[in-house]
Structure 1
Amino acid sequence: MQLREMLAEPLGLRLLHGEHALDRRVDRACVTDMPDPAPFVTPGALVCTGLVWRRGPRDSDPYIGLLAEAGAAAIAAGRTLHGHVPDDVITACRAHGLPLLEAPRSLPFSRIIEHLAARRAETRLRRVESGFARQRRLLAAVADGGDAHHLLTEFATDRTASAWLLTATGALVAGTAPLADTEIDTLIAAAAAAPRLPLTTSGGYTIHSVGSRLGDRITLWYLVVRAETDTEDIGSDLAPIAELYRMRHRERLRLRWELSDHPIPDADAAVAVVADTAAPRRAEGREILPESDRPRLAPEELRVLVHDILPGAPTEVDRYGRVVAWTTGSERDVAARLTRHLNRLRPAVRGFTLRVGVSAARPGESPSGAVASAAAAASALGDAAVIVRIAEVDSVVGLLTAVPDDLQRRFAARVLGPLLEYDRRTGTGLLRTLEVFLDCAGSWRTAADRMHLHLNTIRYRIGRVEELTGRDLGRLDDRLDLYLAVRAYGSQTAPV
């Protein structure tokens, strides 16, 4: 209730000071004449006082100052004790910016408290009734295919709030105001890690779950609400509407997938995306199930995730249960977008790995070739919860990125194993010498200068490398074997 509304109530209150603050909210009333009133005053309260604390004019300024510091909205002073409200009390209220009301002799403070409580109850009942009516209307609008942005805007505007609907990957379904990527990162991370929802963050955001299974943070949506002035939680009213919209959205997606013939974009600008899931290779240091028996995220759920990140992209599920999507742009831009969104799922990904391969169709290359390259990149397992790889197959080193990590490690171990063991025992640094030698295109002199070693030392070390690995660095094929093994061992083909 505003202060001007308090004065209009049939209580007989009279304004002595505070014409400038008639729009100030009064949330509750309290009574105190204690020497230190601060513990008994809450922000937004109308403080009713009989001025018992005032023994003389000098008491007014410090006492009114304490009320102002405690967040009092206004003061209602009784005149029973002094016959009137002393001028020094009025002066102190003016100095501390507190509106001052005079209560008539016949008005007990308990009646003010009861009247305010009754008005608040009436207001709350009207809001509930209005909220139910609005909720029914918006639920009907969703059932008829209403737009999510319009629904959020209509609901939140009346309640002086901002609202956003986000997927588990942080894709914005609808919102009433801009929301920066960094803010989305923070909100999704908090929601994914929270033991229960709703959750209120330090920024004043309240996050509600939108979905039937709270335990599955991968397929949930999140309703985020930030109230500007209203202290009530409006998210609980809006969440059922958002859930119905989510269900209708998924129904429309399924229907589109059933009717679509999966068109492929112009081959010169098409980028293939292949998404798959599998359990990690090891769990607590032990091997787990073979690849064919590992648990996977349901293909339909994975397809929804890809659609959330790449809306409008044609998608299908292949015979291996992988999701194949087509989009446009550069490989790196597509991979960066997938990485940013899927990384938001890391706290919620448990028991399996999300793997995504990205490959642009090269001129003259068939769509199936781009899909095969993306699928090969997606098949490379790693220890991370989310892996996004670009299938860079336009060079020998790029081709190596399409080889699964475990196979790369086995290749490096077989080729470099004796050399690595020798380095471990002697600390000679043959691997580092080999790296520099290969980087210097096989030039003894350049390698010696770069490592600040004598030329004969380099010759001796490379000779030991050839002995231990059984490769002749004068042969192109042997040099290529060692070059690729060094790249694989050094993790130069790490996930994007």
Structure 2
Amino acid sequence: MLIQDVLDVRELALRRVVGTDDQFARAVRWAFATDLTDPSRYIVGGELVVTGMVWRRAPEDSDAFVASVVAAGAVALAAGDEVFGCVPDDVVRACEKYSLPLLAVPSSVAFADVIEAVTSRVTGDRVARLSASLARQHRLLTAVADGRALADLTQETARDTGVTCRIITAVGRSVVSAEPLTTEAVDALVRTAAQGVPCSVVARDTVRSVLPVGSSFGHRATAWYLVVDGDHERMDPQVLDTLAQLASIAALDRVRHDDGARVLRTMADQAADLLVAGAGEHALDRVRQIGVDLTGDVVALAATSDLPIEVLAAVLTDAVRTSVGGAVSVGVTDGDVVIGVVGLPPGGTTTRVADDLTRALGRLGDVVTGSIAVGVGTASEAAALVGCVQSAQHAREVAAASADRIAVRTSADTGSAAVLLSVVPDGLRAAYARRVLGAVIEHDTRTDAGLLDTLRAYLDHDGSWSRTADALHVHVNTVRYRIGRVEALTDRDLGTTEDRTDVFVALAVLGPQPTTL
């Protein structure tokens, strides 16, 4: 009920004394009569205060009375003229001073009638709002059960309320969008929301509000937000109720999709393990089942973080989807490393993916206390996916070594042969490693002689016998013997640059862990 609605009740014959049309459009939540000098302790906000002005002993009392009811949250004052025969000028001036709408109540009208008119109308409005709310909630739930898309329900809510609605995530990915937001607007929304919701954000003279979607018990890095145009603190309660119901439906829709994603996540974990182990063909089968587009170039990602591993996987998935459309394979391997595979859209580049990830993950600066390190591998055809993962792992190591708390690096930042190797088809790389080091690996498998580990250490220490021996905690003659066996098995002279390069490249293909070919 509005103040104007009280004025419009003919039987009361109230008269407007102070107040603009905008002020009389304020909502009234209740009414009560008082003649206390300071009734503020009985006012909770939104009341129409009805008074006979018995409290007025002198003109200066009016200012104190009006100031107290305004400070307590009253929205209007209805003054009876029984005591003074009219509303005194000092009461009028006080109401004008504090912008408090003032109505005059004729002596022929009982205060009880004014209060009854307000309370019955307010009660009726509340019942009507409750009924409408329940009906709307039932309609939305029925729509969800029938499989209606969240975008359709959001658009329908926007039509009902006249408020533009969007749903975004903590990294700024658009889940449902009426129209695109600028990058700067998204930055401001998610960073302000990270401090707590609901909240209002002003950007370029446009006010938007951010409301929570779902429970606040999840990690803030994976939160969803309902973004609406306008200041939520100034919205009609019925509009806010409708928006809250949409947020609840969005939370239900998210749970439904998360349940489906868990099935795909199992396959993504398997793909990640296979890729790290070098089993590219088997990994591709899992990635295809997830729905990743492998017809064009693909990009691999590797990430580590202080975040719980499940949160990191969810955040990386969300962040990647801000850059590329379609399915994404993001799985966990070795307990703390997240491996992702995405298909590049037409015109997409590794640099673009890295830039988008940097911006998206950077929005988590206020909700992530630890570090996030992400490596983006060299774009390649699907046949070279294992190499792409290895280049992503190298880039991740560079990111982890940087001073940035949230760091994204590409294979171009590694500046090593890993970049060149990553684009060679996996089968060709494996065949090369088998041809160069197959006899050494087979010998180690049969005898556990440690030739491969000794070779790695020898090349890592630039061919120094003594430093290699110190690193392996063996006698220098042992190192000489083992390297001699490697040279004999590979038919290569490690004293020459050409042969040493061949062996180095073969080791790079194998990766850091001993393996079988």
Match of 1:338 in 2: 357
The residue type paired with residue 410 of structure 2 is: I
Identity between Structure 1 and Structure 2 (%): 32
Q: Structure 1, residues 199-246: CA drift from partner, whole Å, max 9, x if none? A: 4447594642436x8244444433456524225753543333012221
Alignment of 1:36-435 (within 5 A): 44-55=46-57, 72-86=74-88, 89=91, 98-105=100-107, 107-110=109-112, 112-113=114-115, 115-155=117-157, 158-159=160-161, 163-175=165-177, 178=181, 180-191=185-196, 199-201=197-199, 205=209, 207-210=211-214, 214-223=217-226, 227=232, 228-231=234-237, 234=241, 236-250=244-258, 259=289, 262-264=292-294, 266-267=296-297, 272-277=299-304, 296-297=309-310, 301=314, 304-316=317-329, 320=333, 322-327=339-344, 328-345=347-364, 354-361=372-379, 369-380=387-398, 381-382=400-401, 386-392=406-412, 395=415
Deviation at 1:125, TM superposition (A): 2.5
Mapped partners of 1:147, 1:121: distance in 2: 36
Deviation at 1:397, TM superposition (A): 11
2:288/2:294 contact within 8 Å kept:
no
The residue type paired with residue 334 of structure 1 is: V
The residue type paired with residue 391 of structure 1 is: S
1:376/1:391 contact within 8 Å kept:
yes
Mapped partners of 2:220, 2:81: distance in 1: 61
Q: Structure 1, residues 48-93: CA drift from partner, whole Å, max 9, x if none? A: 1212244466766776577667765332111222344456655765
1:273/1:374 contact within 8 Å kept:
yes
Q: Which residues of structure 1 form unaligned runs of 5+?
A: 192-198, 281-294, 416-476, 478-496
Deviation at 1:322, TM superposition (A): 1.7
In terms of fraction of residues, the more helix-rich structure is: 2
Report the 3-state secondary structure (helix = DSSP H, G, I; strand = E; otherwise coil) of the residue aligned with 1:17. Answer: strand
Mapped partners of 1:349, 1:16: distance in 2: 56
Deviation at 1:189, TM superposition (A): 2.5
Mapped partners of 2:406, 2:140: distance in 1: 37
Q: 1:275 to 1:106 in 2, by over 3 A?
A: farther
Report the 3-state secondary structure (helix = DSSP H, G, I; strand = E; otherwise coil) of the residue aligned with 1:392. Answer: helix
Q: Which residues of structure 2 form unaligned runs of 5+?
A: 202-207, 265-285, 423-455, 465-496, 498-517
The residue type paired with residue 263 of structure 1 is: D
Mapped partners of 2:235, 2:294: distance in 1: 49
Mapped partners of 2:15, 2:306: distance in 1: 71
Query: What RMSD in Å do the two structures reach over aligned CA positions?
Result: 4.8
Mapped partners of 2:69, 2:54: distance in 1: 15
Q: 1:385 to 1:128 in 2, by over 3 A?
A: farther
1:206/1:224 contact within 8 Å kept:
yes
The residue type paired with residue 133 of structure 1 is: A
Q: 1:8 to 1:257 in 2, by over 3 A?
A: farther
Q: Structure 1, residues 245-301: CA drift from partner, whole Å, max 9, x if none? A: 21344467667977555334644xxx6241333669xxxxxxxxxxxxxx8438974
2:171/2:190 contact within 8 Å kept:
no
Mapped partners of 2:82, 2:385: distance in 1: 91
Mapped partners of 2:51, 2:102: distance in 1: 11
Match of 1:424 in 2: none
Match of 1:491 in 2: none
Report the 3-state secondary structure (helix = DSSP H, G, I; strand = E; otherwise coil) of the residue aligned with 1:165. Answer: strand
The residue type paired with residue 377 of structure 1 is: A
How many residues in Structure 1 have an aligned counterpart in Structure 2?
381
Mapped partners of 2:93, 2:413: distance in 1: 82
Deviates more, 1:76-85 or 1:37-46: 37-46
1:160/1:230 contact within 8 Å kept:
no
Q: TM-score, structure 1 length as denominator?
A: 0.60
The residue type paired with residue 374 of structure 2 is: V
Q: TM-score, structure 2 length as denominator?
A: 0.58
Mapped partners of 2:331, 2:17: distance in 1: 76
Match of 2:468 in 1: none
